[in-house]
Amino acid sequence: MNRNIINHGIGHEQSRLSVGRVLIYALLVFCALYYLAPLYVMLSTSVKTLDEIRSGNLLSLPASPTGAAWIKAWSSACTGVECNGLAPFFWNSIRMAVPAVLISTLVGSLNGYVLAHWRFRGSEIVFTALMVGCFIPFQVVILPMARLLGTVNLANTTPGLVFVHIVYGIAFTTLFFRNYYVTVPEELVKAARIDGAGFFMTYRKIIFPLSLPIFMVCFIWQFTQIWNDFLFGVVFGGSDAKPVTVALNNLVNTSTGVTEYNVNMAAAIIAALPTLLVYLLAGKYFVRGLTAGAVKG
């Protein structure tokens, strides 16, 4: 009798768990579809003709898909008074983002290493100042940065934009690395010093091999911030140095009498592809890196 009651209770509990699991999965599927719907609309619209867009609805599948809008967005889009397409501005963003990400991440790693394991008088003040720098709005630094770039002859150039993003990103990368390196046991660093390792030897042999998770976090964070930036690009980028976000804005707001929704959608996807690919390929490392330093020990 008691065994039957126990079995009945276990079966009832398993049934409740199964129903709860189904409801959770259903909610997750609904949320995924809800957030993927705009991407589907963009993709389907980008391969439709204008006549089909005007006569159909947003959720309908394309009757006869075409890549003409993609070709036009890449090579024939009008920006300002010239029609150059997104292509040159896309490569401007690549030339701007890659060195800015690499340099700001490396400098942030060294800063975090110093602030975590080579503390000096006033190091906490320096760290606090860098933390404050994380919360300074872009608009605050525009005028002083413009004057500085003009003084060193980097105004309206790609190297100037690289410099701007390095300076603005160092505060974030330093914060990430410092909080991560604090979790590295102090005994490892002390042992390396006892063995005669100096500053860079300790970093290269002890700290750097442990830093892959946080490097991935900073790479993804910095690349996303730099690639998606519009304000610095439109203010500090010259006609030959504007990033793809500025070109996309110019394309969408070009007054030609006819709004080409398919071209606009294709251009938006082209501009977003690098960040989408970065998250698809390295998103799991981003989550691991964020949680790797959550517990000290």
| Domain residue spans of the chain | 2-66, 78-292
Nearest Cα to Cα of residue 271 among 71, 45, 73, 81: 73
Q: Per CATH, which fold does 78-292 belong to?
A: MetI-like fold (1.10.3720)
| pLDDT per residue rounded down to tens, the chain (297 residues) | 545 555 555 555 556 657 778 888 889 999 999 988 888 989 998 888 888 888 877 778 888 888 888 988 888 544 444 545 788 899 999 999 999 999 999 999 999 988 888 877 877 888 888 888 788 887 888 888 889 888 888 888 899 999 999 998 998 999 889 888 888 888 888 888 888 888 888 888 888 888 888 898 899 989 999 999 988 988 888 778 889 999 888 887 775 667 788 888 999 999 999 998 888 887 777 766 666 655 444
State how far the Cα of 86 lies from the Cα of 269, in Å rounded to an integer: 11
80-111: buried (b, 16+ CB within 10 Å) or exposed (e) per residue? Answer: eeeeebbbbbbebbebbbebbbebbbebbbbb
Q: Which two tokens stand for residue 260?
A: 């080409």
Hey, CA dihedral for 23, 24, 28, 34, is it positive or negative?
A: positive
Distance CA(33)–CA(55), nearest Å, equals: 25
**What pLDDT, on a 0 to 100 scale, did the predictor assign at position 257?**
65
What pTM did the predictor assign? 0.82
Residue appearing with tokens 């046991």: 185
Q: What angle do CA 193, 198, 203 make, to 5 degrees?
A: 95
The H or E element that residue 257 is part of is none
